[in-house]
Amino acid sequence: MATKIAPLSGFPEWLPTDRLTEQLVLDIVRETFELHGFVNIETRAVEPVERLLGKGGDADKEIYGVSRLAGDADERKDSDLGLHFDLTVPFARYVLENAGKLTFPFRRYQIQKVWRGERPQEGRYREFTQADIDIVGAGELPFHYEAEVPLVIADVFARLPIGPYRIQVNNRKIPEGFYLGIGFGPEQVAGVLRIVDKLDKVGGEAVHAALVEFGATDEQARQCLALARISATDTSFVAAVRALGVEHETLEAGLTELAAVMAAGMEHAPGVLVADLKVARGLDYYTGTVYETQLVGQEEYGSVCSGGRYDSLASDGRNTYPGVGISIGVSRLLGRLVPSGAIASSRPTPTCVLVALNTQEDRAAAASLAAALRGRGVATEVAPSAAKFGKQIRYADRRGIPYVWFPPLEPGAAHSVKDIRSGEQTEADPAAWVPPARDLRPQLIADPQE
C-alpha cells in the first residue's frame, strides 16, 4: 500500500516562483551587507548541547537534539549535539576558535537555516532562514557600532518593496538600572525583563498580574509598566524616563547610549528608528542596545528583524570578544509578504528567451544560438519540441518567458524575436541582440496585482 505523502508542519518549502522571490530578496540582502564591508562565513549546523543550553532563554526547551540512529546507546549519549537555534551562538564559537586568524573588529554576515522546536503557526517555523550581521571586537567594542547596525538594516529594507516599517530600539541597561533603582534585586532583573517583554502579546493587566506573582509590589509593577510604555522617535524619551524619578548609574548609562543611537538614526534614517522602552529581547546574552523591527500596520505579526549587543557570549575565560548584531528573519518576513501578494518576482522564471524550433534537426543550431545569448548574460533555453509555433509560444507564456526567438526558415533570412506580452516581433541579430534592461533578469515588485 502506497504511503500518503503529507507536508511536515513548520518546514516550509516554496514553489519555484516564490523561491525565486526569496532568492531576489537574499541577493539584495547579501549585496547590501557587502556594501557595508561585511564578509561572509558559514558555520556548521550543529553545536554541543551544553553550549546551546543557557544561551537562549526560553529557546533552551526548543533545541533539536542530533544523534546517529545506527549508533549504540553510549555513542548516542556521548554525541550530545543539537541543531543551532540562531546564528549568533555558533558565530561566537567560531570567533573563539579562529580568533588568531581574524582581524578585529571583525565584520561578518551569515545567511543560513536555523531550527527551533516550537509550535508552528503563521510566521513561526521549525526550520527557517536567517540573515545576520555582527561586529565583534577583541577585548572591547566601541559603542558607535550599536548605532551602525540598525542603519545597515535600514539600507536593506529601503531596497526591498516591503512597505513602511519601524526599527524599535532600547538599551537593556535602561530597564535593568530602572528595576534595580525601584528595589528589585540583581537576581530578579532577568525575570522581570522576560515578563515585561510580553507586554504587546498579553497586555498591561496580564503583565501587572505576572509581575505581582513574580514578587513585585503593586507600585513596582506600576512603575515597570510606566517605563515600558515610553516611546519616542527622537531623544525626548530621556526626559520622560527621568520624570519617573528613578535614579541608578546603570539607568543613566543606558539613557546616554540609547540617545546616541537615536541621534544617529535621526540623521541617517529619519523616522525609521523608534526608542521603545518595552523591548527587551528574550535571549539572555544581550547586555546593551537591543532591536526589534515591525511592519507598520501589521504589528500583530511581531518582529521580523531583531538583535542586540552582547558582551560575554564569546569568551574563553581569558579573552572576551564583545559584539553587536542584528538578524533578519527572512522566512518570517516572506511568510507574511509572499502569500498576500505584497511582494513577488516580476516573472516566475529566470529565463528571458525561448529559442523556437522549426524542426528537431535544428536543435543543435538552436543550442548554439542559446549559448551565444547566455554568453551576453541573457538567460535562454531551447523549446522542448518542434511543435507548432503557436504551441511553443503558449509554452513560453505558461512559463512566464517574455521573449521567443525565431530562427530563419530559409538560409540567409533574418532572425526575429517576439515579445509575447505585447505581440511585437522585430528582426534580431544573434550576435548583438539583448533585451531591455528591465527584462534581463527578474525584479522584485510590490503589489503585483495593482
Binding residues are 86-88, 116, 130, 134, 281, 285-286
Closest-CA residue to 145 (of 133, 156, 128, 155) = 133
109 sits in which H/E element: strand 106-115
Q: How far is CA 332 from the centre of its chain?
A: 8
Q: Across the chain, which distance is largest between two alpha carbons, in Å?
A: 93
Residues 6+ apart with CB under 8 A from 215: 188
**Per-residue DSSP letter, 346:** S
Residue 330 sits at the vertex; the CA angle it makes with 328 and 334, to the nearest 5 degrees, is 130
The residue whose grid cell reads 526550520 is 127
Residue 89 · residue 134 · CB < 8 Å: no
Element housing 295 (H / E): strand 289-295
Q: Residues within the annotated binding site for L-histidine? A: 86-88, 116, 130, 134, 281, 285-286
The DSSP-derived string for 424-444 is: -EEEE-TTT----HHHHS--E
With contact defined as beta carbons under 8 Å apart, do 333 and 165 qualify? no
Contact 357, 351 (CB under 8 A): no
Nearest Cα neighbor of 229 from 218, 241, 217 is 241
Please answer whether residues 282 and 58 qualify as being in contact, where contact means their C-beta atoms are separated by less than 8 angstroms. yes
Cα 261 to the center of its chain, rounded Å: 21
Q: Kindly state the helix (H) or strand (E) to which residue 343 belongs, with its residue range.
A: strand 343-345
Nearest to 193 by CA among 169, 162, 218, 214: 214
Which segments of 114-188 does DSSP mark as H helices, in order? 144-158, 173-181
User: Which residues lie below 8 Å from residue 34, measured CB to CB, with a gap of 6+?
Assistant: 40, 109
Q: In sequence order, what are the residues at sequence separation of 6 or more whose Cβ sits closer than 8 angstroms to the Cβ of residue 46?
A: 66, 81, 82, 83, 84
How far is 422 from 407, CA to CA, in rounded Å?
A: 20
Q: How far apart are CA 377 and CA 379, in angstroms?
A: 6
Contact 331, 128 (CB under 8 A): yes
Residue 6 grid coordinates = 503529507
